[in-house]
A and B are shown apart, each in its own frame.
Chain A
Amino acid sequence: DAGVIQSPRHEVTEMGQEVTLRCKPISGHNSLFWYRQTMMRGLELLIYFNNNVPIDDSGMPEDRFSAKMPNASFSTLKIQPSEPRDSAVYFCASSYSDRSSYNEQFFGPGTRLTVL
Chain B
Amino acid sequence: TQLLEQSPQFLSIQEGENLTVYCNSSSVFSSLQWYRQEPGEGPVLLVTVVTGGEVKKLKRLTFQFGDARKDSSLHITAAQPGDTGLYLCAGRRGGNEKLTFGTGTRLTIIP
Which residues of A come within 8 Å of B, CB atoms?
4, 31, 33, 35, 42-45, 48, 50, 56, 91, 93, 95, 97, 102, 104-105, 107-110
Contacts and interface: CB of A to CB of B under 8 A. Distances in A.
20 contacts: A31-B97, A35-B101, A42-B2, A42-B102, A42-B103, A43-B88, A43-B101, A43-B104, A44-B101, A45-B98, A56-B98, A91-B42, A93-B42, A102-B31, A102-B92, A104-B45, A105-B45, A107-B44, A108-B42, A110-B40
A104 B48 contact: yes
Given A42-B102, A104-B33, A108-B42, 10 more contacts: A33-B99, A42-B88, A42-B103, A43-B88, A43-B101, A48-B97, A48-B98, A91-B42, A105-B45, A107-B43
A75 B102 CA distance: 26
Contact of A45 (B43, B88, B99, B104): B99
Classify the interface of chain A: helix, strand, loop or mixed. Answer: strand
Contacts of A43: 43, 88, 101, 104
- Chain B, interface residues (CB within 8 Å), range: 20 to 34
Contact of B41 (A31, A42, A44, A110): A110
Given A93-B42, A110-B42, A45 B100 contact: yes
Interface in B17-45: 31, 33, 40-45
Interface in B29-73: 31, 33, 40-45, 48
Contact of B97 (A44, A102, A109): A102
B92 to A, nearest CB: 7
A45 B102 CA distance: 12
B18 to A, nearest CB: 26
Nearest to A56: B98
B27 to A, nearest CB: 16
Which of B42, B100, B101 has the most CB atoms of chain A within a 10 A radius of its CB? B42
Contacts of B41: 107, 109-110
